[in-house]
Structure 1
Amino acid sequence: MGRMNVLVTGIGGPTAQGILQALKEKENVHIVGADRRRVTSGNQFCDKTYQIPRFTQEDHYKKAIAEIVDKEEIDAVYPCLHEEIEIYHTFREELPVKVALPQSCHFEILRDKESTYHYLQEINLDAYVPKYYGFNHATELREIADNYFTDDEYIVAKQVEGHGSLGFAILTDRDNFLEALKKGQNKVLNINDYCEIDTGERRIAMEYMDGMEYSVDVFIHEGEVIVAVPRERDGVSSGLVLDGKVVYNEELIEAATLITRQLATNGFINLQFIAAGDGYKLTDVNPRFCGSQIMSLGAEVNFPYLFLQYNVLGEYPEVDPKWNMRMIRYRDHLFVDENKDNST
């Protein structure tokens, strides 16, 4: 096969830009980018760009993607927005291309933390599940705090379908809250204030763990894990890793391998863990490429291209990560000549 044409969505965001940088270095890959905005910082990494409807306009969005796939003879699509996962769960069957989301017999649970935890407990992988309880209303949260977390200074609350830092809060009493406020820790909230905002949406309350945070990038093909790359999340802002290091951690690789084999059969998946007193606990599952997988590229594991090799080219290379590579993000700027327009 000669040149491959790929479509990357949401090119203005960090997830897409990590994928774009990984694919840009490959001469046999022609990159078509798409975003709801005409000009983004991701345009510079694309050979051609399209402005498309927002994913909330689902019918118009799908029509635009299908037209690009046909016109540009696309071989693979990389959906890069978390909100696109649900769309492509069924839409992928209508497209004559590979879609870079994991294939799974349990796809419906992958976006729901509570369902994922429940499933892992059913299959005897509960050692990786933190202490958690689901709730819908403030009254239930208060009962959970009183009955199950009486000795805990802090409780973590999350949306069951949240991603990044959205919907995440550390709950505590008034004294601890005021102390955290002095330190600028804006994710720490007074539990009484938090209960005043009773949205009725499904959330989970879980144990607070202050150990090292890890992400593990995993690529699986036909049920077999090809490579798992653990990464330390040293510096994190709004869910995005600013400073981290790829590390060889046998226990994390084993945990990620066991969990991934149960959750997916093919593709890329990202698992997040926190080190606790009794081992590593799973905190999040990202059934898509994530913003910080670019760290693995620094360790000589090009996950976006690996997806093309295994699923489009029919190539099956062995992967040997270069451990102890550190990534530090920095801000940069881009100048755009508004007199020119290279978008479609």
Structure 2
Amino acid sequence: MTLPDTAPRSGRGRNVTVMVTGAGTPGAVGIIKAIRRTDAFDPHIIGVETIPDASGFPLVDTAETVSAGDDFIQDVIDVARREDVDVVFPLRPTDLQSLSEAKPRFESEGIEVMVSDPETLSIAMDTGRLYDHLVQHGHQIVPEFYRVSTCDEFVDAVRALGYPDRRVCFKRSDGNKVCFLDSEADGSNVLLDTQPNNTVSTLDGVLPIFEEIEPFPDLIVTEYLPGDEYSVDVIAREDDVPVTVSRSHDEISAGHSYMGTIEEAPELIESARQICALLGIEYNANFRFKYAADGTPKLVEVNPHLSESVTAYVGAGANIPSLSVQHALGWDLSEITVDWGTHVTHDWQEIVFRPGQKSATI
């Protein structure tokens, strides 16, 4: 999908200053372009990142490099105050908790931070806690799963889920990398904190590694879901979920969707709405679902932030980054018409920083 050039257009109403934190994260370029594309307001975009050559810096009005450690929040507040920021739009998942805890400090400056409350984040970003929470409240959308914290518990869970006759999945409860156990696979090392995703090994291949790990990681072991994968992306606030759109993932690499179709999935959209209400999710969230062998949809994970591939919807009529800013400001959202069936392909884009030049080219 190609978005139009990023030159601001006049005559769109009031000016809005948006700070994008994590301006060098995957998806930042497309999200910044989508904000530029809006007709609802004239965006002034501040890009914040902990590195000086962030991919999104060439597209923002003001680029600021901030500290990566304990001074991160204070640096962001200082920049937001100086630039008279209206809304802070976090793109990096690892920034969410600290920004959420600091929301009162931003609010005292009249700045809206687009992130859920700390307790909501702590549940949504820990798959084990999330699944437990949903089961306790009667939601059957989760796959069969076990939470384990010892090697013996891991082996018992794997066997209970049908291994070696069936494939089994596992990952860190607070992580995103999924590993598979397949009795017919070649044994291989499993490094839960590194890429690529979707490592396939055998139980015999991973046990020597787990037997040496101290302390044993908090893992979640789940049934293997062989069916199609979908995402539902939402804009939410309190009990209101004014925007929900869904898409299929036709091609995935290292956990990222590079090809998909904007496809209406009412059952998944309703599940996402219910989970939003249960968890109290605010602003943006991305729900990943996969279908089990019997055709039943199961929740894979909840990402309580804007998806890096959310710009897939822009070409289908749903500019979620722009709508999210408007919703954060309390504006009434205009009705959107989604062109269901729109097919989208993502591609890489080079950002070139030449020696001696302050700006970059795309």
TM-score by length of 2: 0.85
Q: Is contact 1:154–1:170 with CA below 8 Å preserved after alignment?
A: yes
The answer for the alignment partner of 1:266 in structure 2 is 282
> What is the rounded CA distance, in whole Å, between the counterparts of 1:53 and 1:119 in structure 2?
35
1:171 aligns with 2:181: yes
Q: Is contact 1:5–1:32 with CA below 8 Å preserved after alignment?
A: yes
1:291 aligns with 2:320: no
The answer for the alignment partner of 2:337 in structure 1 is 320
The answer for the alignment partner of 1:206 in structure 2 is 222
5 Å-filtered alignment, 1:72-111, equals: 72-96=83-107, 97-103=111-117, 106-111=120-125
> What is the rounded CA distance, in whole Å, between the counterparts of 1:209 and 1:235 in structure 2?
16
The answer for the alignment partner of 2:65 in structure 1 is 51
Q: Is contact 2:17–2:84 with CA below 8 Å preserved after alignment?
A: yes
> What is the rounded CA distance, in whole Å, between the counterparts of 1:313 and 1:130 in structure 2?
36
> What is the rounded CA distance, in whole Å, between the counterparts of 1:106 and 1:313 in structure 2?
21
As a proportion of its length, which structure holds more helix? Answer: 1
CA shift in 2, pair 1:149/1:89, >3 Å: farther
Q: Secondary structure at the match of 2:72?
A: helix
The answer for the alignment partner of 1:251 in structure 2 is 267
> What is the rounded CA distance, in whole Å, between the counterparts of 1:170 and 1:222 in structure 2?
37
The answer for the alignment partner of 1:113 in structure 2 is 127
Identity among equivalent pairs (%): 24
CA deviation profile, 1:84-120 (whole Å, cap 9, x unmatched): 1221220122113111223586333111111111111
Q: Is contact 1:246–1:299 with CA below 8 Å preserved after alignment?
A: yes
CA deviation profile, 1:54-84 (whole Å, cap 9, x unmatched): 2xx1x21111101111110111111111111
Structure 1 unaligned runs (5+)? none
CA shift in 2, pair 1:150/1:311, >3 Å: closer
The answer for the alignment partner of 2:21 in structure 1 is 9
Q: Which moved more, 1:254-263 or 1:236-245?
A: 254-263
> What is the rounded CA distance, in whole Å, between the counterparts of 1:66 and 1:288 in structure 2?
20
The answer for the alignment partner of 2:37 in structure 1 is 25
Q: Is contact 1:226–1:319 with CA below 8 Å preserved after alignment?
A: no
CA shift in 2, pair 1:313/1:141, >3 Å: closer
Q: Is contact 2:120–2:281 with CA below 8 Å preserved after alignment?
A: no
The answer for the alignment partner of 1:146 in structure 2 is 159
1:235 aligns with 2:255: no
The answer for the alignment partner of 1:190 in structure 2 is 202
Q: Secondary structure at the match of 1:177?
A: coil
Instruction: Give how far 1:335 is off.
Output: 3.0
> What is the rounded CA distance, in whole Å, between the counterparts of 2:330 and 2:159 in structure 1?
56
Q: Which has the higher contact order (CA 8 A, sep 6+)?
A: 1
1:338 aligns with 2:343: no
Q: Which amino acid counterpart does residue 111 of structure 1 have in structure 2? A: M
Q: Is contact 2:187–2:205 with CA below 8 Å preserved after alignment?
A: no
1:301 aligns with 2:315: no
Q: Is contact 2:281–2:304 with CA below 8 Å preserved after alignment?
A: no
CA shift in 2, pair 1:3/1:250, >3 Å: same
> What is the rounded CA distance, in whole Å, between the counterparts of 2:187 and 2:220 in structure 1?
24
Instruction: Give how far 1:325 is off.
Output: 1.2
> What is the rounded CA distance, in whole Å, between the counterparts of 2:277 and 2:153 in structure 1?
34
Instruction: Give how far 1:170 is off.
Output: 0.3
CA deviation profile, 1:7-60 (whole Å, cap 9, x unmatched): 111212223223212112236111110111111221222111011122xx1x21
TM-score by length of 1: 0.89
Structure 2 unaligned runs (5+)? 1-12, 189-195
Instruction: Give how far 1:191 is off.
Output: 1.8
Instruction: Give how far 1:326 is off.
Output: 1.3
Instruction: Give how far 1:262 is off.
Output: 1.3
Q: Which amino acid counterpart does residue 187 of structure 1 have in structure 2? A: T
